[in-house]
Amino acid sequence: MINQFPDEKVRCRQNSTSWMKPGDPRIARYAPGNWFVPDRRHRVWAGRSHGHINVTWSSELVERLCALDADVLWLSTWQPYTQALNLALGVDWETIAWYDSVTQEGRRTGKRRAVLSHLKAGRPIVWIDDEETTYDAGLAIQSSEPSAPVLGVGPHSDIGISRPQMALIERFVADPPDEPTVRFEVIGDSHEGHWGF
């Protein structure tokens, strides 16, 4: 997840957490070593039903994603608007059509099906999603007996992909496991943390 929804109080205080009370969970979330501080914002047209939506992101994060020796593809609920996102971000990432944008058919289950379908190619996959990289999704992928390793990354919607998550992605892409392992690293799920299958 590239688009961030940071705490407005943090943003108003120049991304500082010094004003927070000890024990506030936001302190760790917004620590300089954990999040990519956003430095870009753009209004993107998201259709008549949504209008213009502000997209907030870190150019450093986008640069690191572009530097991966991998095909970066959109598997996003923003499927009809990814070309507008490409223009805003300055990238040219292909979009996986995983649901019918007119009838909305497949929108509830299409992402997982798209990942399972791409696994048939036998290539390692990194699946980044703030909503659907769940324990159940991991079980479904594992039960499909994948022929390639899968890394699921579930960012926190406030900050998007964290620095530790991006470092994990970079290591996985540079040197994927030899075995078809399934590992998920998530934030904010009932199975918070990491698990392997």
Gap between the Cα atoms of 8 and 86, Å rounded? 26
For residue 155, list its beta bridge partners: none
On whether the pTM is more than 0.85, the answer is yes
Identify which has the larger pLDDT, 131 or 125. Answer: 125
Gap between the Cα atoms of 150 and 166, Å rounded? 15
| pLDDT tens, residue by residue, 62-120 | 999 999 999 999 998 888 888 989 999 999 999 998 888 778 787 777 888 888 888 88
pLDDT value, residue 189: 45
Gap between the Cα atoms of 183 and 26, Å rounded? 26
Look at residue 61 and tell me whether its pLDDT is greater than 90: yes
Over residues 159-170, the mean pLDDT reads 95
Look at residue 196 and tell me whether its pLDDT is greater than 60: no
pLDDT value, residue 138: 85
